[in-house]
């Protein structure tokens, strides 16, 4: 039995992924029933983990992956950028990043290649993997500015509340966007919102 954990709110994407993975496993002559599991507690027993990433998420700490022993990690993204593996967090170094708009044959090739280069039974990650991890974080001022932006405050309003020049606040905002490779205000908003909603381990670090 092959357990698949899928973190994706789009029903049609989940169904499509299920059929795609079923076809790959049948072609690969792998025996086992493909079943879906839900809930963060199921990560520890999942053989395949499929996670939906918002822009910037690939650079943050993902402690939820520490207890799991997936044979395959797949990250779904709107756009896959060619980043060096050594600048990603340690827990994502072996993840297969798939662009949602990729053609099916390209996606299949990526997943098959990853399967061929992954141990059948992968060991669980340990906390030792976090030593020297290059995941990215917010400075205290960046946390305040990001939270205020999410609440709908303008740069001038934030500058007034923090007793800073508006140029300083704008510089901090640009630094956040450059650090997490965010290209516009929408990506910044979605990134911060997702941190609050879906990553409790990051929220404790992120809250004011």
Please name which of 180, 172, 174 lies closest in space to residue 202, comparing C-alpha atoms: 180
pLDDT tens for residues 125-166? 555 667 778 888 888 888 889 888 988 999 999 999 999 999
Higher pLDDT, 128 or 177: 177
Helix axis angle for 140-150 and 185-198, nearest 10°, is 100
Q: Look at residue 164 in the predicted model and tell me its pLDDT.
A: 94
Per-residue 3-state assignment (H helix, E strand, C coil) for the chain: CEEEEEECCCHHHHHHHHHHHHHHHHHCCCCCCEEEECCHHHHHHCCEEEEECCCCHHHCCCHHHCCCCCCEEEEEECCCCCCCHHHCCHHHCCCEEEECCCCHHHHHHHHHHHHHCCCCCCCCCCHHHHCCCCCCCCCHHHHHHHHHHHCCCCHHHHHHHHCCCHHHHHHHHHHHHHHCCCCCHHHHHHHHHHHHHHCHHHHHHHCC
pTM of the predicted structure, to 2 decimals: 0.76
Higher pLDDT, 9 or 168: 168
Q: Look at residue 207 in the predicted model and tell me its pLDDT.
A: 47
- List, in order of start, the domains of the chain with CATH numbers: 2-130 (3.40.50.2300), 140-206 (1.10.10.10)
């Amino acid at each position: 039995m092959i357990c698949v954990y899928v973190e994706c709110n789009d029903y049609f994407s989940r169904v499509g992924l299920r059929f795609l993975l079923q076809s790959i496993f049948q072609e690969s002559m792998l025996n086992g029933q493909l079943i879906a599991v839900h809930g963060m507690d199921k990560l520890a027993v999942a053989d395949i983990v499929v996670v939906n990433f918002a822009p910037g998420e690939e650079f943050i700490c993902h402690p939820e992956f520490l207890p799991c022993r997936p044979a395959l990690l797949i990250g779904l993204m709107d756009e896959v950028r060619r980043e060096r593996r050594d600048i990603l967090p340690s827990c994502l170094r072996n993840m297969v990043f798939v662009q949602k708009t990729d053609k099916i044959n390209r996606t299949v090739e990526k997943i098959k290649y990853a399967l061929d280069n992954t141990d059948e039974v992968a060991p669980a990650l340990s906390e030792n993997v976090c030593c020297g991890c290059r995941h990215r974080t917010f400075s205290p001022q960046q946390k305040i500015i990001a939270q205020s932006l999410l609440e709908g405050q303008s740069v001038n309003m934030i500058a007034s509340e923090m007793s800073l020049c508006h140029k300083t606040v704008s510089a901090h905002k640009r630094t956040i966007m450059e650090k997490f490779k965010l290209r516009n205000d929408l990506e910044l908003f979605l990134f911060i919102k997702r941190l609050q909603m879906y990553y409790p381990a990051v929220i404790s670090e992120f809250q004011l």
